[in-house]
C-alpha cells in the first residue's frame, strides 16, 4: 500500500531547508527525505530487535510460531544482544575519535606537533591536576606527555578501572560499583561486549544490558570525556562567541568550503589557513570575493565553539547544502557523512574530499592530509576549492537568504566564569537559582535529526516549552544547531520566550536560555556540568538527585544510544522521541524503561511528541525538587500557574 506523499513542508521546519527541498524536487535530486519514502514499511523484525544474524545457523527471526532461534536464543537474549552491539558502535565511534586526539597530543608533547600545538596550557594543567599528574614547575610538553600516556592507558587498561571515572561525584562511583558496571579499559569494554554478544556466550538479557551501561560509561566518562579534554588542550577551551547559522551563511560571491563530520583536527587548521592573505589574494584573482568556511554536523560545532566559524546546517541538511549549487568543496571526515554525497554532488560542480583513511566512499576524492605539514595541506585544499570556483554554474545556484545569529562556546569553564565572575568562578549562582525556584531544573537536549519526523520540529517545540517553564536548556550536536537556526541561542531569546525566573537569571548573567555546549563527544560537558552542580552542594550528592533530565528527540545514531545509556547510568532520566529497537522483548523494555530506576535512579521514557514530553519532564523535575525539599509553597504556586498555563494549550 502506498502512503500518500508527504508534503515538503511536513518534512522540514526551517524555510531554507524547505526552499532547497523544493529545488531538489524540480531538479530530480534524490535526498534522504525521498529515500525515506522508498524505504517505507521498514522491517518489523529489525525495529523490534528480533532479527539475529550473529551466526550462520541463522539469520533467525523470532515470531509467535518460532519463539527461539536455531541455537535456542529467545527474544530477550536476541533483543538485548542487538542493543548491546548498538551501544558498542556508538562507544567505539566516540572513543576512536578520542584516541586520535590523544595520539596527536602525544606527538605534540614529543615535539612533533608540526601545525599543532598546546593552545590552552591552563586546560592542560587543570587536567593534569585532575589526574594527579605533577605539573607545577614542569614544562608543558612534559606534562602533556604524561597526560597523553595516562590517556592511552585508559584505552588499553586490561584490569584497572578507568581513571577518568574519578571525575564523577563519589556517590556516583559507588552506585556503579554496587551494580558491577565500573568499566575497565575502553578498548577492552568494546571487545568484551563484542565477545559477549557472539554466538553462545552471554544469554541473560539483564547481564547483557548491564554490560551495555558499563560500555556506555566507558564512552561518556572515558572516550568522550578524554576527547573533550584533549580538544580543549590542543585547540583551546571554548568561551562565548558570536556567529551565524543556516544555509544562508554560504556566500553568493565567495568560494564556499564546507567541513563535515566530527574530528576537529583538519578543520582547526582550515580555520587558520582560511585567513591566509595570499590565499585570499588568490581567491580574488580567481574572480571570487573571498572564501567562506562553514560547517555541517559536529565538525561545525567544534569550529563554531572555538573560532566562531558559521554553521551551514545539521545532519539532514548535508545534501541540501550541496543542492544550493554554491559549494566548491565539501571536506568530510568521520561519522554522519552520508554515502549519497557524491551522487548529489555529481549534479553540480561540488567536489567532495575525504581526509581520513578510515572513511572512503566511491566518488569521493581521497586526500591524504599531511599532518606533518598541516598548514600547507590545508592551504592546498583551499586552493583546490578556489580553482573549482570557475566551474560554478550560476543558473543552478540558490542560496536561501536565511542566516540566524547565535552565541555558542559554553564550556563548563565558560559557564562557571559567566555565573561567578572572574574572581570566584563557580556554579553557586546556578544552584541557588535552582534552589530558589527561579530555575526549575536543567534539561540537556542532545542528538540528531531523523527523516522519520519533521526536521527540528520536536527539538524546537520542546525547547520553547522548556524555557517558558523556567527550565535552563543545555545543548549539543544537531539539537544545538536546530536551536541556533531558530534564534534560541541569542541572549534576546530569554526576553522573548523564557519564563520570568529563567529570564531574570539569563539577563543578570548575560547568557541565552539555551546554551550550546558543543559536539556529540562534548556530551561529556553535560556530565561535567551535572557534576559541578552536585559538587557545588545543596542539590544532592549524586547526579540522580539533581533536577536534570536528558532528551534525545530526533535521534538516529548508535552514538545517541551510547550517550543516553551513560546519561541513565549516571542518574539522569532520558526522554526518547522514538523508541530503541527493543519492542520485541517486554523484559528488555521493562528493564530499560523501569528497572534501571532502581539501579541508577533514572530510566528511559519514550514520548513521541513534545506535548506529552514536556508534561513528563516537568513531573520528573518537580519530583526531584520535592525529594530535595526545595519545592517551597510560594514557589510552587507560581510554578503551578506557569505549568497550567503551558499545559492547557
Ligand atoms: Fe551526527 Fe554529531 Fe547525531 Fe548530528 S547529533 S547526526 S550523531 S552530527 Ni550528535
Ligand atoms: Fe540464530 Fe542463534 Fe545464530 Fe542468532 S545465534 S543467528 S538466534 S542460531
Mean pLDDT of the chain: 95
448 lines ligand 1 (CB under 6 A): yes
For ligand 2, what atom is nearest to the CA of residue 60?
Answer: 1
3-state helix, strand, coil in the chain (%, to 5): 55, 10, 35
50 lines ligand 2 (CB under 6 A): no
Pairing mode, strands 365-366 and 471-475: unpaired
Distance CA 438, CA 295 (A): 36
Distance 158 CA to ligand 2 centre (A): 29
User: What pLDDT, on a 0 to 100 scale, did the predictor assign at position 625?
Assistant: 98
Distance 197 CA to ligand 2 centre (A): 11
pTM of the model: 0.95
Lowest-pLDDT choice from 109-113, 361-365, 529-533, 630-634: 630-634
Residue 592 DSSP one-character state: I
The answer on pLDDT for 635 being more than 70 is no
With cut-offs at 50, 70 and 90, classify the pLDDT of residue 4.
low
Beta bridge partners, 378, equal: none
70 lines ligand 2 (CB under 6 A): yes
Protein residue closest via CA to atom 7 of ligand 2: 69
Average pLDDT for 636-649: 44
Among all bound ligands, the one having the nearest atom to the CA of 59 is 2
**Residue 515: helix, strand or coil by DSSP?**
strand
Q: Following DSSP, what letter does each residue of 148-189 receive, concatenated?
A: HHHHHHHHH-SSSPPGGGGGS-HHHHHHHHHTT-----HHHH
The pLDDT tens digits for 469-526 are 999 999 999 999 999 999 999 999 999 999 999 999 999 999 999 999 999 999 999 9
DSSP tally for the chain: helices H, then strands E: 28, 16
Distance CA 411, CA 615 (A): 29
Distance 74 CA to ligand 2 centre (A): 9
Q: What is the CA radius of gyration of the chain?
A: 24
Distance 61 CA to ligand 2 centre (A): 9
Protein residue closest via CA to atom 6 of ligand 1: 448
53 lines ligand 2 (CB under 6 A): yes
Spell 21-34 as b/e; 16+ CB within 10 A means b: bebbeeeebebbbb
297 lines ligand 1 (CB under 6 A): yes
478 lines ligand 1 (CB under 6 A): yes
The answer on pLDDT for 634 being more than 70 is no
Distance CA 371, CA 369 (A): 6
60 lines ligand 2 (CB under 6 A): yes
68, 70, 584, best to mutate for ligand 2 pocket (most atoms within 8 Å of CB): 70
Cβ pair 468, 610 in contact under 8 A: no
Residue 12 DSSP one-character state: B
375 lines ligand 2 (CB under 6 A): no
561 lines ligand 1 (CB under 6 A): no
295 lines ligand 1 (CB under 6 A): no
For ligand 2, what atom is nearest to the CA of residue 77?
Answer: 7
HSE-CB at 452 with a 13 A cutoff on CA atoms is 15
The answer on pLDDT for 644 being more than 50 is no
68 lines ligand 2 (CB under 6 A): no
Distance CA 242, CA 491 (A): 11
Instruction: Single out the residue of 582, 586, 584, 548 nearest to residue 567, CA to CA.
Output: 548
Distance CA 262, CA 206 (A): 33
The answer on pLDDT for 645 being more than 50 is no
Protein residue closest via CA to atom 1 of ligand 1: 336
Spell 70-106 as b/e; 16+ CB within 10 A means b: ebebebbbbbbbbbbbbbbebbbbbbbbbbbbbebbb
Among all bound ligands, the one having the nearest atom to the CA of 57 is 2
User: What pLDDT, on a 0 to 100 scale, did the predictor assign at position 423?
Assistant: 78
54 lines ligand 2 (CB under 6 A): yes
Average pLDDT for 172-201: 98
Q: In the block, which residue shows the cell 519514550?
A: 606
User: What pLDDT, on a 0 to 100 scale, did the predictor assign at position 636?
Assistant: 47
With residue 637 as reference, give the H or E element that holds it.
Answer: helix 633-648
The pLDDT tens digits for 107-117 are 999 999 878 99
Residue 595 DSSP one-character state: I
Protein residue closest via CA to atom 3 of ligand 1: 448
Distance CA 163, CA 160 (A): 8
Distance CA 612, CA 606 (A): 10
Distance CA 276, CA 379 (A): 8
The pLDDT tens digits for 324-367 are 999 999 999 999 999 999 999 999 999 999 999 999 999 999 99
Distance 314 CA to ligand 1 centre (A): 8
Quote the cell numbers at residue 138.
Answer: 614542569
57 lines ligand 2 (CB under 6 A): yes
- Class of residue 57 by CB neighbours under 10 A (exposed 0-12, middle 13-18, buried 19+): exposed
535 lines ligand 2 (CB under 6 A): no
Distance CA 432, CA 443 (A): 17
Protein residue closest via CA to atom 6 of ligand 2: 58
Distance CA 212, CA 562 (A): 8
48, 53, 55, best to mutate for ligand 2 pocket (most atoms within 8 Å of CB): 55
φ, ψ (nearest 5 deg) of residue 11: -95, -30
518 lines ligand 2 (CB under 6 A): no
Among all bound ligands, the one having the nearest atom to the CA of 32 is 1
Cβ pair 510, 491 in contact under 8 A: yes
For ligand 2, what atom is nearest to the CA of residue 69?
Answer: 7
Distance 335 CA to ligand 1 centre (A): 8
**Residue 44: helix, strand or coil by DSSP?**
helix
φ, ψ (nearest 5 deg) of residue 408: -125, -170
Q: Which ranges of 169-244 does DSSP label H, i.e. alpha helix?
A: 170-178, 186-196, 205-218, 224-235
From residue 254, alpha-carbon distances to 183, 285, 287 in Å are 49, 12, 9
Distance 238 CA to ligand 2 centre (A): 48
334 lines ligand 1 (CB under 6 A): no
The pLDDT tens digits for 269-322 are 999 999 999 999 999 999 999 999 999 999 999 999 999 999 999 999 999 999
Distance CA 231, CA 185 (A): 20
Residue 424 DSSP one-character state: S
The pLDDT tens digits for 227-284 are 999 999 999 999 999 999 999 999 999 999 999 999 999 999 999 999 999 999 999 9
List CB contacts of 207: < 8 A, sequence separation 6 or more.
Answer: none
With residue 351 as reference, give the H or E element that holds it.
Answer: strand 351-354
199 lines ligand 2 (CB under 6 A): yes
Q: Which ranges of 286-443 does DSSP label H, i.e. alpha helix?
A: 297-307, 318-323, 341-345, 374-388, 412-420, 428-436
The answer on pLDDT for 11 being more than 70 is yes
From residue 416, alpha-carbon distances to 411, 422, 429, 431 in Å are 9, 9, 9, 11
List CB contacts of 135: < 8 A, sequence separation 6 or more.
Answer: 124, 125, 128, 129, 143
User: What pLDDT, on a 0 to 100 scale, did the predictor assign at position 424?
Assistant: 84
The pLDDT tens digits for 503-512 are 999 999 999 9
**Residue 540: helix, strand or coil by DSSP?**
coil
Distance CA 480, CA 476 (A): 5
User: What pLDDT, on a 0 to 100 scale, did the predictor assign at position 649?
Assistant: 31
73 lines ligand 2 (CB under 6 A): yes
520, 560, 563, best to mutate for ligand 1 pocket (most atoms within 8 Å of CB): 520
128 lines ligand 1 (CB under 6 A): no
Compute CA 645 distance to the chain's CA centroid, rounded to the nearest angstrom: 32
The pLDDT tens digits for 408-440 are 999 999 999 999 887 789 999 999 999 999 999
Cβ pair 463, 472 in contact under 8 A: no
User: What pLDDT, on a 0 to 100 scale, did the predictor assign at position 138?
Assistant: 98
Among all bound ligands, the one having the nearest atom to the CA of 559 is 1
Amino acid at each position: 500500500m502506498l502512503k500518500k506523499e508527504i508534503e515538503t513542508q511536513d518534512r522540514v521546519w526551517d524555510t531554507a531547508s524547505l526552499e532547497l527541498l523544493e529545488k531538489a524536487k524540480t531538479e530530480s535530486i534524490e535526498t534522504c527525505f525521498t529515500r525515506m519514502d522508498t524505504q517505507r514499511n521498514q522491517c518489523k523484525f529489525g525495529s523490534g530487535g528480533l532479527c539475529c544474524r550473529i551466526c550462520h545457523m541463522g539469520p533467525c527471526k523470532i515470531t509467535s510460531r518460532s519463539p527461539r532461534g536455531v541455537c535456542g536464543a529467545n527474544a530477550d537474549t536476541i533483543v538485548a544482544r542487538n542493543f548491546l552491539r548498538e551501544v558498542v558502535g556508538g562507544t567505539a565511534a566516540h572513543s576512536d575519535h578520542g584516541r586520535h586526539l590523544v595520539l596527536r597530543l602525544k606527538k605534540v608533547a614529543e615535539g612533533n606537533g608540526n601545525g599543532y600545538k598546546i593552545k590552552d596550557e591552563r586546560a592542560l594543567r587543570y587536567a593534569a591536576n585532575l589526574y594527579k599528574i605533577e605539573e607545577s614547575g614542569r614544562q608543558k610538553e612534559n606534562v602533556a606527555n604524561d597526560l597523553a600516556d595516562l590517556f592511552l592507558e585508559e584505552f588499553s587498561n586490561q584490569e584497572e578501572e578507568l581513571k577518568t571515572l574519578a571525575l564523577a561525584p563519589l556517590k556516583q562511583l559507588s552506585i556503579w560499583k554496587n551494580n558491577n558496571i565500573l568499566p575497565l579499559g575502553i578498548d577492552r569494554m568494546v571487545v568484551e561486549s563484542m565477545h559477549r554478544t557472539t554466538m553462545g556466550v552471554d544469554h541473560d538479557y539483564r547481564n547483557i544490558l548491564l554490560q551495555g551501561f558499563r560500555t556506555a560509561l566507558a564512552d561518556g566518562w572515558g572516550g568522550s570525556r578524554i576527547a573533550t579534554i584533549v580538544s580543549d588542550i590542543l585547540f583551546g577551551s571554548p568561551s562565548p562567541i558570536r556567529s551565524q547559522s543556516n544555509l544562508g551563511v554560504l556566500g553568493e560571491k565567495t568560494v564556499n568550503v564546507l567541513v563535515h563530520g566530527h574530528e576537529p583536527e583538519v578543520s582547526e587548521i582550515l580555520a587558520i589557513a582560511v585567513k591566509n592573505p595570499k590565499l585570499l589574494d588568490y581567491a580574488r584573482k580567481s574572480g571570487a570575493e573571498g572564501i567562506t568556511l562553514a560547517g555541517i554536523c559536529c565538525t561545525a560545532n567544534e569550529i563554531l565553539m572555538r573560532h566562531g566559524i558559521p554553521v551551514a546546517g545539521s545532519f539532514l541538511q548535508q545534501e541540501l547544502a550541496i543542492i544550493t549549487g554554491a559549494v566548491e568543496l565539501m571536506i568530510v571526515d568521520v561519522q554522519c557523512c552520508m554515502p549519497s554525497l557524491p551522487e548529489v554532488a555529481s549534479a553540480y560542480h561540488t567536489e567532495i574530499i575525504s581526509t581520513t583513511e578510515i572513511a572512503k566512499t566511491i566518488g569521493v576524492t581521497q586526500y591524504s592530509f599531511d599532518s606533518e605539514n598541516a598548514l600547507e595541506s590545508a592551504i592546498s585544499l583551499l586552493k583546490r576549492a578556489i580553482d573549482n570556483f570557475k566551474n560554478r554554474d550560476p543558473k543552478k545556484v540558490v542560496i536561501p537568504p536565511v542566516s540566524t545569529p547565535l552565541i555558542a562556546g559554553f564550556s563548563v569553564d565558560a559557564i562557571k566564569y559567566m555565573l561567578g565572575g572572574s574572581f570566584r568562578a563557580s556554579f553557586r549562582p546556578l544552584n541557588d537559582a535552582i534552589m530558589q525556584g527561579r530555575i526549575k531544573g536543567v534539561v540537556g537536549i542532545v542528538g540528531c535529526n531523523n527523516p522519520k519526523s519533521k526536521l527540528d520540529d520536536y527539538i524546537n517545540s520542546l525547547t520553547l516549552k522548556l524555557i517558558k517553564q523556567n527550565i535552563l536548556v543545555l545543548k549539543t550536536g544537531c539539537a544545538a544547531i536546530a536551536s541556533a537556526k531558530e534564534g534560541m541561542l541569542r541572549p534576546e531569546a530569554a526576553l522573548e520566550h523564557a519564563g520570568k525566573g529563567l529570564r531574570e537569571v539569563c539577563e543578570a548573567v548575560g547568557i541565552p536560555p539555551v546554551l550550546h555546549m558543543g559536539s556529540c563527544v562534548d556530551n561529556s560537558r553535560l556530565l561535567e556540568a551535572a557534576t559541578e552542580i552536585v559538587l557545588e552542594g545543596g542539590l544532592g550528592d549524586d547526579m540522580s538527585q539533581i533536577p536534570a533530565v536528558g532528551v534525545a528527540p530526533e535521534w538516529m545514531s548508535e552514538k545517541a544510544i551510547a550517550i543516553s545509556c551513560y546519561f541513565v547510568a549516571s542518574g539522569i532520566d532520558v526522554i526518547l522521541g522514538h523508541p530503541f529497537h527493543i519492542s520485541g522483548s517486554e523484559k528488555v523494555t521493562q528493564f530499560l524503561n523501569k528497572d534501571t530506576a532502581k539501579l541508577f535512579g533514572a530510566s528511559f521514557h519514550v514520548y513521541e511528541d513534545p506535548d506529552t514530553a514536556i508534561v513528563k519532564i516537568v513531573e520528573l523535575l518537580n519530583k526531584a525538587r520535592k525529594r530535595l525539599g526545595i519545592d517551597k509553597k510560594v514557589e510552587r504556586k507560581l510554578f503551578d500557574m506557569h505549568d497550567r498555563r503551558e499545559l492547557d494549550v
